[in-house]
Structure 1
Amino acid sequence: MDADSGQKQATETSTVIVENGEEIVKVNTMHVPNGINQAFLNGPDQIIPADDYISCVPGGHVKLRLGSRGLAAEPPISVPGLLNRTAARYPNDVALATKKSDGKWHKITYKQYQERVRTVAKAFLKLGLERYHSVGILGFNSEQWYLADLGAIHAGGYAAGIYTTNSAEACFHCLETSRANICAVQDKKQLEKILAIRSRLKHLKAIIQWEDPVDTSIPGLYSWDQLMEIGNKEPDTQLNNILKTISVNECCTLVYTSGTVGPPKAVMLSHDNLTWDAYSIGERVGDLQPTIDRLVTFLPLSHVAAQVADIYTTLHYAVPVYFAQPDALKGSLVETLKEVRPTRFFAVPRVWEKMYEKIIAVGSSSGSVKRYIAMWAKDKGTKHHTARINGALSAGMIGLPLDFTISEMIKYWMDGTTCGYKLAKSLVFNKVRESLGLDQCLLFMSAAAPLSPEIKKFFLSLDIPIMDAFGMSELAGAHTISIYPKFKLDSAGEILDGTETKFDGSESVNGPGEVLMRGRHLFMGYLFDEEKTRQTIDQDGWLHSGDVGRVDSNNLLYITGRIKELLITAGGENVAPVLIEQTVQSELLHVSYAVLIGDRRKFLAILLTLKGKINQTTGDALDELDTETAKWVASLGSKATTISEIVKNKDPYVYKAIEAGIARANKKAISNAQKIQKFAILPADFSMNTGELGPTLKIKRNVVYEKYKDIIEDFYKE
């Protein structure tokens, strides 16, 4: 059912956006409001008519993919409407909690949360935030991050999170393409990036710094206290008038994501995208207890997964949020977890891997008796959860003779699927959970990148079943989430109710084929980029994921391959390999091919080949260095004339030069996660005859990965 039924008046349209007399961008068949349409002042929860599911311009509106029943038929609600509703239902309950320098948790209620959001919104308007322009947010998770995010949306602008690891140039791209009027930064370190590019940001009017003393000599720079003071002095009139113009089917948030080539794209997410996906997630998770459940936020809020889980799902279900310390991923997270004892824990694979490494380290230092008990307990845990997953869990005293002896009773408790598990839980599992601060946790989740089935199996044996979630920025976060015991170790999760999935190019409705997805969580479009939007969303409204997968009879999705060359690190960072490979090759002209490694890995590494001579008859790559490469090697001080000599002896002259070239390339990386940490020179150049190159000399990555898997695994050995 379309959302435009009963709404006859169309919005005014234009094919050009003009600002201050300057033509910004031409748009084909896109609807652009020419000012505020006075016929639609029933916001923020109104639906303004639209005739397309796609819009790529500021102020555009889209049709909603409303269903006739079930979750897809849930009445739409805006972000301000959601905050209003939750604050009305739970005005005096804890919304956000921050541990400050006095060592105490400082908490604010939902009523205070709402009041502060409105204060920030009024201050943003006073400082010059224009309709459909953005507020860039650059800092670690905090109360101020949340307030800036929701404040920008309430004021009719866009919230645009920026990764704290971004370089100044990467920040410039996000701020300029989103037409940022305001940028909120955490501290002096982040401020320096903005000051370095400020003169080129033609839309920027003010900078807000929420930590560290503010340099009063910098024009247009305000402290957080000054921001709140400005907002408190403003009447509510302008803000209330802006809220009346907001609709659920317009953009409220920009999430920047990188493709396989080109600069990051701004994913336009509507109010309905975010609030509906949050609602759908909560319904799948089930049994969320408002004001009682607890969540610790520490994953980057510039990532869509953290936004929809930590900001919007918690807001939808009134779950208190506790902010971790900025050094959470450097070691302090566990201490925060021990204090808060969250009931739901959401992490990326790298966090689970670090916990795994810590448990392994503790176990290896234990005595033989403790190790034996741990091994026994893990066996009981694995059998117990496997039985639950398979629906074959035994219970009670089945199998125990009526005239049992004490020794038979002990054996039963030690070996029985149910009772052995209970004993193991008491002796081992509860202690492990307590050591991690997860003793009250009811749901363990992993998302943003695939988590190794082996690590999931390890945690399952310790009574910590980790559920998978799969999604994209273009889907406002999640498209699948598994709930125990309906999951499999190698599955990406169960498809959310109210969404659709099919497989392109498959003869079967279950796949395998490219995973196509559709639903109310499907984004509006890429800002100012209709061409790429329509390449991503086909004419029938299906999002092409670039992933190959299948679905089983339990509605569990399995990702079996990737059409795109996009890498996703263990920390959930999207990395476009081609750009980095090209940068390395531009710094090292005698490198023939570069293949970036890092999918599901802790860090990036790279495989390199040196340019060798080619057999002109067969096309085979020879061991002898080509003429120019040989000259370069000699200029370094090396006497090597073949590739094999360099690799066998790890020629210090050549390896040092390669290291220097990679260091130069790393300086151009947009974030620390996109820097190369290790490299290897391969023993031979690529060729078609040896299988690494296709007919157009394009690298066959899967062939390279398989052929050099031993070298790749050596990168990641501790």
Structure 2
Amino acid sequence: MRAARIALNLLCRPADVRGLCLRSIKRKFFTVLEVKKGPRDQTLAPADNLWTTARDGAVRLRMEERGPASEPPVTTLQMFQDTVQRFGNLPALAVKRDGQWQTTTYLQYHQQCRAAAKSFLKLGLERFHSVGILGFNSPEWFIAEIGAIMAGGFPFGIYTTSSSEACAYVAKNAGTNILVVEDHQQLEKILQIQSQLPHLKAIVQYGPELREKRPNLYTWKEFMQIGSDIPDSKLDDIIASQKANQCCLIVYTSGTTGPPKGVMLSHDNVTWFVKRYAEAAGVQDHEIGVSYMPLNHIAAQVWDIWVPICFGGTTYFANPDALRVSPVDILKEVRPTRFIAVPRIWEKIQGALEATESASSFIQKAISTWAKSIGLAASHNLINGIDSRPWGYSLADFLVLKKLKASVGLDRCPWCHTGAAPITEDTLEYFMPLNIPILQLYGMSECSGPITVCTLSEFRLSSCGKPIPGCRTKIHMPDKDGNGEVCLWGRSVFMGYLNMAEMTTEALDEEGWLHSGDIGKLDQDGFLTITGRIKELVITAGGENIPPVPIEEALKKEVPIISNTMVVGDKRKFLSMLITLKCIIDPVTLEPKDDLTPDVIQFCQQLGSHATCVSEVVRSKDPVIYKAIQEGLDRVNQRAVSRAQKVQKWTILEKDFSLDGGELGPTLKLKRPVILSRYEKVIDEFYKL
């Protein structure tokens, strides 16, 4: 679209002016790219452009003459082979089956991926076509992903919460030849839309045994054996033909603001980024991690699949309900050396710790309070570069801090990460005294994962950190306070959106910068802070652009019994807010229950309320709870920069938002269009005269 506009503008000018303009445009748009051309060798396919939307296309890498961006490109399969040679007999994967942990070495892992690749070829996987994977994290998920790449196809994940229609949309867009599903529930979704998928040739189920046999439907055991007659030489030729600047895998955006887009990531995007990110984050060889976040999300793939492959780590698989309930049980059993979680998971871990402390005696609570004050001072010394610990630290660590960390399985983590959504400073401050520094990071699928990272040596409490080596950030059109759109550059920036040229040119400008759609600012030291999102802006009837997230997070900080908040008021005269309270999650259905969590009940009792259920609070409009929320909101409103940014009306909903309910996305972000539609009548009540 941008090129078309430029061409149309040129055609409307006189011939002599057109010539000058063309020379000017060539200097403007092509000089930068010519200077940064990388070497052309056997690892790269011919390419002149930084982006493509063609499944068989190639891109020119953002290579530089020196520094991290000058590193020679390699494919993901070359990286995997190198790890097998170095760490072949070490454990790569661990999964609990029938109550026992079963491990797979890197050599076995690689062999199983090759077997899967041969089977994909046998079932008709075509070069530059895709394999869709619909299910929870498992060794089979990993093997299907890497096997699809080995066979010359593109793996992509489908969210387990997706409807049949959503599955059909991404499967058609990706030109899917084969779908891998976990169980009968996911299989039924595909069977409903099978006739809509012209490229589909086979379905593989890797979970429980098939309930009924159908044509072109295979169990995992059948699948892994079906390609045994494919010669090694044929597979080796396909692997050798793949180039580092060609597409390796596809990650579909979650569709919270529109139809999902297929983010094409090259081999170089993955391999170069993983090394740079892991080095910046301080990842060591043979780390132990837990796989529980949805693998459809790029952060989970980077953290669970590719970082371990690069550094010979071991990945343990959690139960399917870990994200929705809490991963504490698996953390206590595995005791990982690295861990990443979205803010809601950190809040749940915090809740587990607070529940443990609330059951303590008065003396134990007093000792815990003292120990955490010492721990907080020690953490501040650490992040401020002060090489000393306060008096009494060793005793505080022995009596309290080590035990608290061990109670949630994080006693072997020197640091942890959080991302995908804003996290409150209260949550960060809560974990710092426990010697669990939670380091924020920022990224997106379009840049292969986190591109800015906080480290122990470079840390700001409210910041997402600095760019990883070899990447850059800038703020596009900053306002008087320095806030503007965050733009990103580096070899991790994606190839383009599959079959979506217009969307691609909206995301990538003429010089190749990725426009994130997020609003942020950089401080004098280069630390990035995200302050909002362009597509989440609420534009009032008066025309004022208001980022809702800071308001929502501020109220949650003021009133700790609140679970979720959502500001509404687009094209309205004033802002209003939907509020949910923290409640217990049903361990079977994973639905939010009516019962309030113990910490909320304790909070209510301290204020003089006897409520134990959300329905009690809402139906009686519990004056104590409503007053506490209003007072918290008043404090937030007092800090508003304008009257338009003050929330004037609000209500408590009878049910919390959830993944299964459809109000939360896979990374637990609010799905604002869904909530707006579902609570349309409630919202309209705010604006009745």
* TM-score bracket, shorter-length normalisation: 0.7 to 0.9
* In 2: Cα distance, 1:611 partner to 1:474 partner: 30
* In 1: Cα distance, 2:384 partner to 2:317 partner: 38
CA contact (8 A) 2:326 2:348 kept: no
Range moving further from structure 2, 314-323 or 260-269: 260-269
Q: Which residue of 2 aligns with 1:562?
A: 533
CA positional deviation for 1:445: 0.8
The answer to whether structure 1 residue 494 and structure 2 residue 488 are counterparts is no
CA positional deviation for 1:682: 6.3
CA positional deviation for 1:89: 1.2
**Sequence identity, in percent?**
42
Residue 228 and residue 44 in structure 1: after superposition, are their counterparts in 2 closer, same or farther (change >3 A)? farther
Residue 240 and residue 648 in structure 1: after superposition, are their counterparts in 2 closer, same or farther (change >3 A)? closer
Residue 361 and residue 502 in structure 1: after superposition, are their counterparts in 2 closer, same or farther (change >3 A)? same
* In 2: Cα distance, 1:107 partner to 1:133 partner: 31
Residue 385 and residue 604 in structure 1: after superposition, are their counterparts in 2 closer, same or farther (change >3 A)? closer
Range moving further from structure 2, 187-196 or 360-369: 360-369
CA positional deviation for 1:284: 0.7
Q: Which residue of 2 aligns with 1:241?
A: 237
* In 2: Cα distance, 1:511 partner to 1:300 partner: 34
Q: Which residue of 2 aligns with 1:436?
A: 408
* In 1: Cα distance, 2:358 partner to 2:665 partner: 38
The answer to whether structure 1 residue 391 and structure 2 residue 385 are counterparts is yes
The answer to whether structure 1 residue 377 and structure 2 residue 371 are counterparts is yes
Q: Which residue of 2 aligns with 1:323?
A: 317
Residue 667 and residue 69 in structure 1: after superposition, are their counterparts in 2 closer, same or farther (change >3 A)? closer
Q: Which residue of 2 aligns with 1:199?
A: 195
CA positional deviation for 1:550: 2.1
Q: Which residue of 2 aligns with 1:275?
A: 271
* Structure 2 residue matching 1:356: 3-state secondary structure: helix
CA positional deviation for 1:522: 0.3
* Structure 1 residue matching 2:142: 3-state secondary structure: helix
Residue 125 and residue 335 in structure 1: after superposition, are their counterparts in 2 closer, same or farther (change >3 A)? same
* 1:237-270 Cα distance to aligned partner (Å, 9 max, x none): 3212212221110111111114675311111111
CA contact (8 A) 2:257 2:535 kept: no
Residue 659 and residue 391 in structure 1: after superposition, are their counterparts in 2 closer, same or farther (change >3 A)? closer
1:557 maps to a residue whose letter is L
CA contact (8 A) 2:56 2:247 kept: yes
* In 1: Cα distance, 2:574 partner to 2:241 partner: 66
The answer to whether structure 1 residue 76 and structure 2 residue 73 are counterparts is yes
Which residue, 337, 340, 343 being the options, matches 1:349? 343
CA positional deviation for 1:233: 3.2
Q: Which residue of 1 aligns with 2:160?
A: 164
* In 2: Cα distance, 1:47 partner to 1:223 partner: 37
* Unpaired runs of at least 5, structure 1: 1-42, 396-416, 567-576, 579-594, 613-618, 622-646, 651-657, 688-718
TM-score after normalising by structure 1: 0.71
* In 2: Cα distance, 1:487 partner to 1:387 partner: 12
Q: Which residue of 2 aligns with 1:51?
A: 48
* 1:641-668 Cα distance to aligned partner (Å, 9 max, x none): xxxxxx9999xxxxxxx999x99x9789
* Structure 2 residue matching 1:480: 3-state secondary structure: strand
CA positional deviation for 1:139: 0.7
CA positional deviation for 1:437: 1.1
CA contact (8 A) 1:165 1:670 kept: no
The answer to whether structure 1 residue 334 and structure 2 residue 331 are counterparts is no
CA positional deviation for 1:215: 3.5
2:52 maps to a residue whose letter is S
* Structure 1 residue matching 2:436: 3-state secondary structure: coil
CA contact (8 A) 1:45 1:246 kept: no
1:378 maps to a residue whose letter is K
* In 2: Cα distance, 1:610 partner to 1:246 partner: 48
* Structure 2 residue matching 1:520: 3-state secondary structure: coil
Q: Which residue of 2 aligns with 1:524?
A: 495
Q: Which residue of 2 aligns with 1:175?
A: 171
Q: Which has the larger radius of gyration?
A: 1
How many residue pairs get aligned? The number is 554
* In 2: Cα distance, 1:610 partner to 1:387 partner: 44
* Structure 1 residue matching 2:185: 3-state secondary structure: helix
The answer to whether structure 1 residue 314 and structure 2 residue 308 are counterparts is yes
Range moving further from structure 2, 208-217 or 513-522: 208-217
* 1:63-101 Cα distance to aligned partner (Å, 9 max, x none): 001122222112111111111111111111111111111
Which residue, 415, 430, 451 being the options, matches 1:479? 451
Which residue, 127, 140, 146 being the options, matches 1:144? 140
CA contact (8 A) 2:353 2:408 kept: no
Structural RMSD (CA): 3.5
Q: Which residue of 1 aligns with 2:246?
A: 250
CA contact (8 A) 2:471 2:488 kept: yes
Residue 420 and residue 606 in structure 1: after superposition, are their counterparts in 2 closer, same or farther (change >3 A)? closer
* In 2: Cα distance, 1:337 partner to 1:281 partner: 23
2:476 maps to a residue whose letter is D
Which residue, 284, 288, 298 being the options, matches 1:294? 288
* In 2: Cα distance, 1:332 partner to 1:610 partner: 34
* Unpaired runs of at least 5, structure 2: 1-39, 540-546, 557-561, 576-617, 622-652
CA contact (8 A) 1:166 1:670 kept: no
Q: Which residue of 2 aligns with 1:359?
A: 353
Q: Which residue of 1 aligns with 2:513?
A: 542
Range moving further from structure 2, 209-218 or 157-166: 209-218
* In 2: Cα distance, 1:54 partner to 1:259 partner: 22
* In 2: Cα distance, 1:648 partner to 1:137 partner: 44
* 1:14-45 Cα distance to aligned partner (Å, 9 max, x none): xxxxxxxxxxxxxxxxxxxxxxxxxxxxx997
